[in-house]
Structure formats: C-alpha cells, structure tokens
A and B are shown apart, each in its own frame.
Chain A
Amino acid sequence: GNSVTQMEGPVTLSEEAFLTINCTYTATGYPSLFWYVQYPGEGLQLLLKATKADDKGSNKGFEATYRKETTSFHLEKGSVQVSDSAVYFCALSRGNTPLVFGKGTRLSVIA
C-alpha cells in the first residue's frame, strides 16, 4: 500500500541555519506529494505541493523537489527563523484513496 516515511524528530536548529527534513514514499504510479505545517495549537496549513516528477514546490522560502528515481520529497529552507517552529507533515495522494501522512517532524528554532 501507499506509505510515507519522515525523519524522526525533534529537530532543533539555531536561527538562520539550513533545514532539511527527509521524506520518502512508497506508492504505485505517480502520486501527488504535499508538505503541511502545523503551528502550535492550530490546524494544518498547506505549505507546498508537487504533482509530477521533477516538479519543485516552493512557498515562504521552503522548497521540495519530487524525485521519482529516489521516491523522495525532502523539505529544505536556506535560513530558518524562530517563527518556523512547528510540526511538518509530508503526505501523498493517489487516486481515490485517503491522504497518507508521515508521522510528522517537530522543528524547534532557537534564537
């Protein structure tokens, strides 16, 4: 079946550090891939998405590239801020099946 594996957290970084959160997936065919962010006490917000191989999603300085050959969709940001502290979920969608989430990665950015 479809599945998503994210790196275990928590991840703690200093402000302005480079961020990478790894995400790999297992799915038949060509799923759509998403990163959602959940700030403390809030719901999920769509951060970025990619719907086909080699697509790059980007938003608010975050980027992720859909890599079919490595079945990956790693999230990156060049310089994190304290306000980026949140839980990040990688997810995939394939056909008429429910959205499949990774377990989430908690990011803490310290000043």
Chain B
Amino acid sequence: DTEVTQTPKHLVMGMTNKKSLKCEQHMGHRAMYWYKQKAKKPPELMFVYSYEKLSINESVPSRFSPECPNSSLLNLHLHALQPEDSALYLCASSQDWSGSRETQYFGPGTRLLVL
C-alpha cells in the first residue's frame, strides 16, 4: 500500500480565516513533505519533516505553519493567507530523508482558494 491521504479535498477561505490541511500515511515512512503547486507548474517544496522534526523550510512565509504530531500525520496550519496563496497543496512521504534512492509518494492534494 503506497497511499497518502489528504483532507479536505477542496478548501475555500477568506484572508482572515484560520484553517488546517491534514495529511496521513501508514507506510511507516519517516520523512514527510509539503509542496505547493500552481497551475501548469511543477510542485515547489515548502517543508520537509524527518523523524517528526522539521529539516527543511524553504523560506516559506510564517502564515504557513507546519506541524508533525506523530510519524503518520502532517498538518499545515493556515492563517491570514493572501489570494496568491491559492494553489494545490500536496503532501508526500518517503521511507527516509537520508538517501538519493528514496521514492516520494504523493497524496491527491488539497485545492485551496483564498478569497
């Protein structure tokens, strides 16, 4: 089973709202990732968690706040977003973050619209 699940599938929020995106995997993977994908572009890495610790933050604005409560769950808390933050947010996981042969498995994404 190589399934990564994400909820919600779609989200519409105002610029003053607070919302959270959720990601879950049960493959025993120890690395989890958040990506942002704009239309007709490849995914852009936002955060990497390895063994539940934040390993990489690609200079993401503080209005995006990641959280890894345990090895199976990854959240992305959203606050005071801007319309340009509207995008598809993808979660991924891999066995580890330590080797070039690790395969990342992606979830179906949350399509976010900020009004």
Contacts and interface: CB of A to CB of B under 8 A. Distances in A.
Contacts of A93: 100-102, 104
Secondary structure type dominating chain B contacts: loop
Contacts of B100: 30-32, 51, 93-95
Contact of B106 (A31, A44, A98): A44
A102 B40 CA distance: 12
Contacts of A43: 6, 88, 90, 106-109
B101 A51 contact: yes
A31 B101 CA distance: 8
B104 A99 contact: yes
Contacts of A89: 42
B43 interface: yes
Contacts, number: 55
A42 B43 contact: no
Interface in A58-106: 89, 93-96, 98-99, 101-104, 106
B98 A96 contact: yes
Contact of A98 (B40, B41, B48, B98): B48
B70 interface: no
Nearest to B109: A43
28 contacts: A30-B100, A31-B100, A32-B100, A32-B101, A32-B103, A34-B103, A43-B6, A43-B90, A43-B109, A44-B43, A44-B90, A44-B106, A45-B106, A46-B2, A46-B103, A49-B103, A93-B100, A93-B104, A95-B100, A96-B98, A98-B56, A98-B58, A101-B42, A103-B42, A104-B40, A104-B41, A104-B42, A106-B40
Interface of B: 2, 6, 40-43, 45, 48, 56, 58, 88, 90, 92, 97-109
